[in-house]
Amino acid sequence: MIKASISTLAKRISSSTTGQNISITNYPIEILAGLTVALALVPEAVAFAFVAGVPPLTGLYAAFIVGLITATFGGRPGMISGATGALAVVMVSLVASHGIDYLFATVVIMGILQVLAGVFKLGKFIRMVPHPVMLGFVNGLAIVIGLAQLKQFQIKNDSGDATWMYGSELIITLSLVAFTMIIIWITPKLIKSFPAPLAAIGLTTAIVITFNLPVLRVGDLADISGGLPSFYLPQLPLSWSTLEIILPYSVILAAIGLIESLLTLNLVGDITNKRGGASQECVAQGTANFVTGFFGGMGGCAMIGQSMINVKSGGRTRVSGISSAIFLLCFILFASTLIELIPLAALIGVMFMVVIGTFAWNSINMLFKVPKSDALVIILVTAVTVMEDLAVAVVVGVIISALVYAWTTAARIQAFTRSSRTEQGAKVYEIEGPLFFGSSTAFTELFNPLDDPETIIIDFQKSRVVDQSALQAIEDVAAKYLKANKIIKLRHLSKDCHSLLARSGQLIVDSDDDPDYGLAVDYNIKVGAFK
């Protein structure tokens, strides 16, 4: 039984969800990519823990547990998850008001909600996010990542306040950052089998240690040493009032976590040429957060910066993600003193290169080539991502895109009139464009009941009846013709449109072969199905 379980897990680790197997020769690249990610994860996890107002190990444990579970069972091999700033800024008020135990319980509920989202396959709705929103998301996160690195150029003065570096310390730090970026740029041109970020971190660290340069190091942030995460049951009262406190935070965190994870999933998928896995990723993210809530972790989601580091370093499978989580745990248990020697300048340089590689530079030229509405969405989503958070930005972007689409589509509805070829004296309105809530008003204005002949035929061969607003519009037009003692018929409705009208009680079918659809008013049945 145990042997079979290990074998199954090994198969999952060595292959992606798309069935891409890796050979033994690929393992070193994957493992080194994982090591690179783990090194970059340490300061980020510590920093996000500080943002949330929790101990550093709480962020590190979250990075380990969430990273391990999502890498093993997630929907996109190569994607990295852990503690993130988008979640931390929501957590801080909860921790400040109620304490860390409430945070752990919130993360557990958050995980349950995310699993349910995966079970009910809600992840597929990420497909509805328009491309301009994706571009804005990518650009906004790139800017956020870049701005976050600027905080590393601050030091504390004698009074404990943060001040900007100056003098020789600033010059040395900037020089090391530039050196790290140059090494990352040059390394792929010299050797492709070794991750460039790892080489840059190693060389920069060696220079700092050799010359004992006075720069900030990982150890200056916090002590990262600790033991294995242990099971912990949150200590809080089991009451309705407790649920009222944690549930709103759980819903917000679950939504932000899934949005960021699924958008990152699509971004990594574009780079690795993979598709699908959205619902699986929801379940994996939820399971990871559910578990980490019972092991002293602050919860997490996909991390676009670390995911970019991973794929740019050669990580394409689950091996890299699992390796990064294992390396991170080893740092906590055995190698904290060594990791604390790494200069922050090296990690800043890595993240700056991530920013350069992540930002969609072609979107700048695209702004002058795409429709103004799309350009507006790109700029707006970018700005809201930087100023607020990802979830708000995506929601705003989707709403604006939907409104623009509704407005432009509504303007396309029109009618061409002609005399009927089959019914003497009848007038035909040939409708073009979809009939939905956005075009319903324009649709009703196409007709002239007082001047039209006794029989009117509305031909929908080039149109679609979409929603209840469309049904109401048809009924309003029919009522006007009824008031004028005239007959109205519908033709060439698609099967789904026919079903929609039939369910409303508005429609009676005369025949099945090229039918005329007679409105209820033709049969002495009153209109008003939607009154």
Which residue from 247, 255, 251, 276 is spatially nearest to 393, judged by alpha carbons?
Answer: 255
* Ranges of each domain in the chain: 25-149+165-360, 366-409, 414-523
Contacts of range 370-379, beta carbons closer than 8 Å, 24 or more positions apart: 370/132, 373/400, 373/401, 373/404, 373/408, 374/130, 374/132, 375/132, 376/400, 377/130, 377/132, 377/133, 377/136, 377/401, 377/404, 378/132, 378/135, 378/136, 378/139, 379/136
Q: How distant is the alpha carbon of residue 75 from its chain centre? A: 13
Measure Cα distances from 340 to 57, 58, 179 in Å: 14, 17, 20
Element (DSSP H or E) covering residue 345: helix 344-358
Per-residue pLDDT at 109: 96
Provide the b/e sequence for 172-183 (b: ≥16 CB within 10 Å): bbeebbebbbeb
Q: How far is Cα 52 from Cα 298, in angstroms, rounded to an integer?
A: 8
The distance between the two most distant Cα atoms of the chain, rounded to a whole number of Å, is 99
The residue count of the chain comes to 531
Q: How many CB atoms lie within 10 A of CB 513?
A: 4
Per-residue pLDDT at 16: 45
Per-residue pLDDT at 13: 46
Which neighbouring-strand residues pair with 459?
430, 491
Give the three-state DSSP class for 156: strand
Backbone region of residue 502 per phi and psi (left: phi > 0; alpha: psi in -120 to 50; beta: other values): alpha
Q: How far is Cα 195 from Cα 212, in angstroms, rounded to an integer?
A: 26
- Enter the tokens of residue 408: 């432009």
Cβ–Cβ under 8 Å, residues 360 and 239: no
Owner of token pair 């075009």: 439
Per-residue pLDDT at 210: 92
Per-residue pLDDT at 18: 40
Cβ–Cβ under 8 Å, residues 506 and 471: yes
| CATH class name, domain 414-523 | alpha beta
- What are 323-373's pLDDT values in tens digits? 999 999 999 999 888 888 889 888 888 888 878 887 888 888 888 888 888
Q: How far is Cα 506 from Cα 520, in angstroms, rounded to an integer?
A: 5
Q: Which residues of the chain have pLDDT under 50?
A: 1-10, 13-20, 511-513, 521-526, 530
Q: How distant is the alpha carbon of residue 526 from its chain centre? A: 49
Q: How far is Cα 50 from Cα 17, in angstroms, rounded to an integer?
A: 35
Element (DSSP H or E) covering residue 119: helix 100-119
- Enter the tokens of residue 291: 């578990």
Q: How far is Cα 145 from Cα 153, in angstroms, rounded to an integer?
A: 14
- What are 444-459's pLDDT values in tens digits? 889 988 888 988 888 8
Q: How far is Cα 381 from Cα 268, in angstroms, rounded to an integer?
A: 20
- What are 150-162's pLDDT values in tens digits? 888 887 777 767 7
